[in-house]
Amino acid sequence: MLADEAGTDLRITARGGTIGADVSGVDFGQPFSAALVAQLHAALARYKVLFFAGQHITSAQQIARGRQLGELEVHPFTMEKLGGAIFADAANPELVVVESTPEKPTVAEQWHSDTTWRECPSLGSILRMTHQPERGGETMWADMSAAYAGLDPATKALIDDAAALHDWETFRRHLRRAGTPESRIDELNRHYPVVEHPVVRTHPVTGERCLFVNAGFTVAIKGMDGEAGGALLRHLYAQAENPAYRVTHSWRAGDIAMWDNRSTQHAVTGGVVGHRRLERVTLVGDRAF
């Protein structure tokens, strides 16, 4: 148990395995002290995903707490007309809405790390459920430092100094389906060209080595031919599927999950029945190394 400078008790209970912890003694409706901010960042680096129950707060409060934890990013493609289930709040572009309805039952079922197509991918996100579906739509996170540690020595030797290319082709397809003019897509291509990141990144806080390729946005391993590189990437992608590296959260309205995008991947289970809606703010990250 830890206490912040205002006397609030911060209680952290690991969920077991290698990833995830439940946190109590934190009220997202009230300003955080500097000590609490430091404690949350330390806990995030250690446990990778933090869960907070009963946080019935406003969007403005979520944005304010996010800004206390770091600079908030604006996701460029949520500002476009994607025609899907992820979009930015018009009044607050830092706030991303993730929604599935009976008319548009869409969830992100593919394992991925957010915005790895950026030169500086996201540090992490704070996600709050506002509408709980009747069933389905659990979120899973995978510990990519445990995934790297579990690889055989030959694979580690192959990837330790390798680089991979990341692209936003998934969003490009959504934009084209939504009728976005090619001139706008060309403009976005110039602003967000294919980027190169290490296949294995070093966590800047813990020093852990983490697999940093994902099926959502990694398109190739630099210097490897398509067949060999593709086979290796598929093997690395599959590590997120290992239950030993995973934590799953069954949402209730008012729950908040805060995750470290540098050391995790996430995906959502299907089978959503009813209205599922969450709001997310995301912290600006730095260059992977």
At what angle are helices 34-47 and 59-69 packed, to 10 degrees?
Answer: 80
First to last CA, the chain: 33
Residue 280: enclosing H or E segment and its boundaries? strand 276-283
State the residue for tokens 């995903």.
Answer: 49
Catalytic residue positions, numbered: 112, 114, 266, 280
Task: Note whether 166 and 219 are within 8 A (CB).
Answer: yes
d(CA 223, CA 235): 17
Residue 198 β-bridge partners: 163
Strands 163-166 and 218-221: antiparallel
Residue 127 β-bridge partners: 257, 280
Query: Which of 257, 270, 278, 267 lies closest to 137, judged by CA?
Result: 270
**Cα–Cα separations (whole angstroms), residue 155 to 112, 162, 199, 223, 235:** 21, 11, 11, 16, 10
Tokens of residue 159, six digits: 């990837």
Length of the chain: 289
Task: Note whether 14 and 225 are within 8 A (CB).
Answer: no
Query: Which of 51, 93, 13, 39 lies closest to 280, judged by CA?
Result: 93
